[in-house]
Amino acid sequence: MERVIAHIDRHHERQPRLDELARVAGLSVFHFSREFRRWAGLSPTRYLRTVALSVAKQELDDRGSVLAAAWAAGLSGGGRLHDLFVSFDAVTPGEYKNGGLGVRLRHGYAASPFGRIHAALSERGLAHLVFVDGSDNAALAQLKVRWPRATFDRDDEAIAALAAQIFIERRGEVTLSVAGTNFQVKVWQALLELGSRGPTSYSEIARAIGQPSASRAVGQAVGANPVAWLIPCHRVLRRDGGLGGYRWGVERKRAMLAWEHATSACARV
């Protein structure tokens, strides 16, 4: 699906045909249509129709805002677009400094619309959620870097239930209990707030935390985001409206924004 979304992104002006998209996916037209509908919730043809670039161009003409244009084009859907409520409860500076001493983390792996995830839950909430592009051992080692003195229990069932809540049911409440420096926590809180409204930028986040000249440091903190998707670093765009980079790959970022856009299209019907 990442390849297909990238192809649509490059060739949306000519509205590529269904058989062309199926070839990109390496599937028959029938199987591609079925898989795309299962992934996005609507048909490929209908998804193409929802990519309203003319709206984006008009938005640029009327308001001169690249971020507003990206929003109008559907790059972010429409806020959370569901009933999942996310609250933020960072660990204290002392808890962060001691590396999770006395903290028990239930961690495990599960599927998502954007690839396999590795996540960890403490008694206080979700501490970690990343996409796994390498081995399980490498993913666990990454978690242990942030929580070096914690105790780890494997619990794939709990993480599968979490993934279902976040990506399928998309309702209920999820509390984030993350570990980071004071500056990182400020950035993640601002990103959670701004990103829930639509696309944002590093400079907008920097202004939100009262440090307008700290865009570069903000970018580093965004890149260190320990909870993918829920702290929506995939919604941070360049000032010119381009996708920019993404810790877990630009193609995945494009697919995430497209999935949100598809969800928005379904919600409007």
CA distance linking residue 128 with residue 12, whole number of Å = 35
- The answer to whether residue 35 scores a pLDDT higher than 50 is yes
Q: One of 192, 233, 255, 265 is an active-site residue; which one?
A: 233
Taking each helix axis from N to C end, the angle separating 182-195 and 215-223, rounded to the nearest 10 degrees, works out to 80
Annotation marks residue 266 as catalytic: no
Tokens of 146: 């942030």
β-pair partners for 172: 84
pLDDT at position 75 is: 46
Band (pLDDT 50/70/90 cuts) for residue 49 is low
- Top pLDDT among 239 and 136 is at 136
CA distance linking residue 162 with residue 124, whole number of Å = 14
CA angle 117, 89, 267 (to 5 degrees): 55
Q: Number of C-alpha atoms within 13 angstroms, CB side, residue 7? A: 17
- The answer to whether residue 83 scores a pLDDT higher than 90 is no
CA distance linking residue 184 with residue 186, whole number of Å = 5
- Secondary element (H or E) of residue 165: none
Tokens of 77: 């859907």
